[in-house]
Structure formats: structure tokens, C-alpha cells
Amino acid sequence: MTRKYFGTDGIRGQANREPLTPHTLARLGQAIGLHFMRGNHRHRVVIGKDTRLSGYMVESALVSGFVSVGIDVAMVGSMPTPGVAMLTRSMRADLGVMISASHNPFADNGIKLFDPDGFKLSDKVEKEIENRLEGALLLAHPPALGQMVHLEDAMGRYMEFVKSSLPRHSHFEGLRIVVDCANGAAYKAAPLVLKELGATVIPLGVSPNGQNINDACGATSPQMMCEAVRQEKAHVGIAFDGDADRVVFADEKGAVVDGDQIMALIATDWQEHGLLQGKGIVATHMSNLGFERYLNQRGLDLIRTSIGDRYVAEAMRDTGCNLGGESSGHVILSDYATSGDGLLTALQVLLVLKLKQQPASQVLTVFKPMSQVLRNVKLSPVLLEFPEAQEVMNTARQTLENKGRLLVRPSGTEPLIRIMAEAEDEKFASQIVDSIAATLANLSKKQVA
């Protein structure tokens, strides 16, 4: 299903360039608003944002669009993406909007949409919204225009929500934790929640200036967190991305721990306590084969989906699983939340770490991962359809059969082709990735010539 504006996770691009210009954003607000206007009640949308400078422009344009079709707007300011999803549901709103480009550089921005139940929209609904943009958009008469309010206690509501996921009287006293908030949406909530729970917090990335979000910090650049863990002799490190819907960890030695290990840890703990629902865990095609083999040994399945946490959430609902996510650190705990929540996930992991009273390097290393080599190449995805490209990929898959995996796909958020190979031997996986990348590069040169 071809879509013009929506990608893997909402709409994303460079701020003040199409489609993220004030004119187009206002029309998007109108089209999105009209799609969710059902019934005769006063309709309401909750809007949050991360710390990007362009967030003010995007927010203002969307608000004008929503108000012009008769929808009331509750603005919550800087807020983690999962907080917007939670507030949308708890406030009985008709729609939730998060203004963020997640882990992208500050010059990018985007919008993520949530339905009244706090779930991200399906491909079908996104296509229906795009279709509305092609026609006339019905504006409200003056008496029916929407109103706008600032929700002053939004962050407090979210903080209490994530703390309520822990058993009563849980605390993290005695834990020294490095917390890297990526100068993004969690810069207030994450350190405060952990301090309130008794932890000693060493904060990083908590001074946003509108341009330093994800800048050499956060989940996609965890080196600063890892170094701080070693220097501060912390028990563990936590790093969020710009909108705090994903999290990665560092053990006490400063080694990075990804989302697959985190899901394996929570799955093991929940299975032992009878809390795991469904026949396994839902994850994407990017999750490590070692993770899958570990789950199989425990009698659990790894149910794989397309890339994107909304596809994981959909599959979780279909299969009855209450745990799923992505190796990048999006983890969905559906007993508590409808989308990936970095802070909520961190609390669950810290709870296990506190109870086990063992070093993080022992607790957070649950399985032995297979070597996984990933390369992003800035080439047109059209190249993947060429016979030469198909041939080299088929040959690679045959070579890896029963010994590893190959995944080649266009990025849903950036103009890239992502090539990933898994094998017991890292050198072997690298050779396969190099071969495919070289074939695609040669095909690109032929097209230019």
C-alpha cells in the first residue's frame, strides 16, 4: 500500500521542508482531525513534543489545523512519546499526536499519531488520512471552532503512571545509575523518577537547547553513557533516544546491552513468576537469532514482524502476547502501556537487577548473541529490484541457510538501504554484507553512467 506522507513510524523529514512546512502541516491537522471526528461530543486531541527547536513551528501549525475543523487541543509540552499515548487514553481523547523525529538529528522532525486507545495507526488508516488531503477539507463555522489549553500536570501524571508499574514499596536505594536522556523528551521525567525511587542518579543529556537532541548522546550514541559508567563506578547505565520510547543499557563494565537482551531478561523473569502471556515474544526481523534460540530452549516462540514497533504491537494484540519489541530498544509491556516506553522498561530491568543483587554484566547478559553485521548504504531502494541484486542476495541466503540470517531492506525513515547479516563468525557475516553492498554500488554507478 503506497503512502505519500507516512513511513514506518508516522511522518518524518527535515523541518520546514515538505511535508513538514506550516501550510502542509495545517492541512494534515485538518485531515487527521476530520478523520477522527465521530459522534456529537466535543472532540479533543492531546499534543506533545520533544525538545527540537522546530517543535514550536510544527505544534503551532498542527494546532491551527485541528482548531479550524472544530477539535479542542490539550498541549502537554515536552513529553516522552509513551506519555502522549498514555494521556490520550486516560483523558478519553479522540487522538494523540507526538511531535518528534525520534533518534534523528535535530534538523529533522515528524509526527506520530495515536488512536483513542493509545495505539499507533494502521497502514489502512494512514492511507485514508492521505486520501482526505486530496479533496476539500470542511472547516468549522466560527461558533464551532476548537479551543486550546495547556495541561499543566501532564508530566506528573506520566511519572506516577510509570512508577505504578512497580510493586508497592519497590525502591532502588543503593544503585548508582548513569542516565543519558539524549537532551530529549525524558530530560525531566527520567532522573526525577529514579531519584524518587531512591537511586543515586548521574544525569547526562539533560540540558536541551533545541539543537543538541541526540547529538553524540542517547540510545543511538551510547559511548558517553558507557564511559560515565566506568568513571563513576556506577552499577548500570541507561540511555534513552530523543522521544524516550526506546532504551539501551550499559553494564558496570560499560558494555552496551541492547533490546534483545532486555526482552530476554524480562521474558525469563515473567515466565518464572507466571506473568508471561501468549506462547512467546513478538519481535521484528532485526532481532538476533541467538535470542530466538534462547527462547526456543525455554519453550517459547519468537514471533517476528516487519520493522516498526507498531507492527509489533499489532501482532501482540493478535497473538495475546504481553511482551514484545525491537533490538533497537523499543520494548512494549502491554500490561502497562500501548507503545514502547523506555522509562517503563528501565524500571522493570532495574527491579530485577535490584532483587538479584548481582553485577549488571551477569544479570543483563541472558543469551549469547550471534555476530550481527549491519551496514546502511545511501543508495536508491529501487536497486534491490534489479536481477543482479536479487541474485547476490539469493546466493547469500543459500550460503547462510541454517547457519545465520540475511535481511536487506529500504529504511522506512531515511533514504538508505539497510543490509544485515548474522552468522556464528563475524568475519563471514561481514563478507556477505560487503558483497551485497559492492553489488548495489556497482549497479548505482551503471545507472548514473
What are the residue numbers of the active site?
Answer: 102
Torsion of CA 422, 270, 332, 165, to 10 degrees: -150
Q: What is d(CA 227, CA 216) in angstroms, rounded to the nearest whole number? A: 13
Nearest alpha carbon to residue 323 among 350, 356, 298, 348: 348
Nearest alpha carbon to residue 344 among 190, 173, 181, 113: 190
Q: What is d(CA 46, CA 83) in angstroms, rounded to the nearest whole number? A: 10
Report the amino acid identity of residue 383.
Answer: L
Helix (H/G/I), strand (E/B), else coil: 389: helix
Which DSSP category does 431 fall into?
H
Q: What is d(CA 106, CA 277) in angstroms, rounded to the nearest whole number? A: 39
- 104, three cell numbers: 534523528
Task: Name, in order, each residue with C-beta under 8 angstroms of 350's C-beta and a sequence gap of 6 or more.
Answer: 172, 175, 177, 194, 199, 236
- Burial bucket for residue 72 (CB in 10 Å: 0-12, 13-18, 19+): middle
Torsion of CA 241, 369, 360, 86, to 10 degrees: 40
Contact status, residue 432 vs residue 399, Cβ threshold 8 Å:
yes
Contact status, residue 15 vs residue 24, Cβ threshold 8 Å:
no
Contact status, residue 102 vs residue 110, Cβ threshold 8 Å:
yes
